[in-house]
């Protein structure tokens, strides 16, 4: 939203946290696999029953503050995590999804990289 309004982007604690991005088509495919799996539960109930599936792309890891990348025309400001999230909020500095269970149980493998995701989203 800040980019659309041309407001400064807030970098929490200097933007050192790491996150991953996933392409929406991969998310839709994962949800469809889960729905299909639910329909097949009578044949093999161990496939999805009781499992929690992470959907994300561990290969698209980026920092909020990407040094060495082309700079945005939008300015950034540094804010503390307490100021941004509020008192008592706790978060990991590294948010990388573990795809082990969804790969094993549903044979779900993501197809898009961050550069492909950006290119496809823009075109």
pTM of the model: 0.53
79 secondary structure, DSSP code = E
Listing DSSP states for 11-30 in one string gives: EEGGG--EEE---HHHHHHH
Higher pLDDT, 25 or 18: 25
How many C-beta atoms surround the C-beta of residue 21 within 10 A?
15
**Per-residue pLDDT tens digits for 71-91:** 556 678 888 888 888 888 877
**Per-residue pLDDT tens digits for 41-68:** 555 656 666 777 778 777 777 766 654 4
Domain edges within the chain: 2-122
Element (H, E) at 6: none
Q: Where are the alpha helices (DSSP H) in 8-99?
A: 24-39, 81-85
How many C-beta atoms surround the C-beta of residue 57 within 10 A?
21
Secondary structure class of 92 (helix, strand, coil)? coil
Tell me the C-alpha to C-alpha distance, in Å, between residue 44 and each of 35, 39, 48, 92, 109.
14, 10, 9, 35, 21
């Amino acid at each position: 939203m800040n980019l659309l309004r041309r407001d400064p982007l807030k970098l929490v604690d200097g933007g050192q946290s790491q996150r991953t991005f996933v392409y929406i088509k991969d998310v839709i495919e994962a949800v469809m696999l889960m729905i299909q799996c639910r329909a097949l539960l009578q044949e093999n109930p161990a496939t999805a029953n009781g499992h929690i599936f992470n959907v994300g792309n561990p290969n698209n890891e980026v920092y909020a503050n990407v040094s060495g990348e082309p700079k945005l025309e939008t300015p950034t400001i540094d804010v503390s995590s307490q100021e941004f999230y509020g008192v008592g909020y706790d978060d990991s500095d590294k948010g990388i999804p573990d795809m082990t269970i969804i790969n094993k149980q549903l044979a779900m493998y993501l197809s898009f990289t961050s550069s492909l995701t950006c290119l496809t989203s823009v075109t």
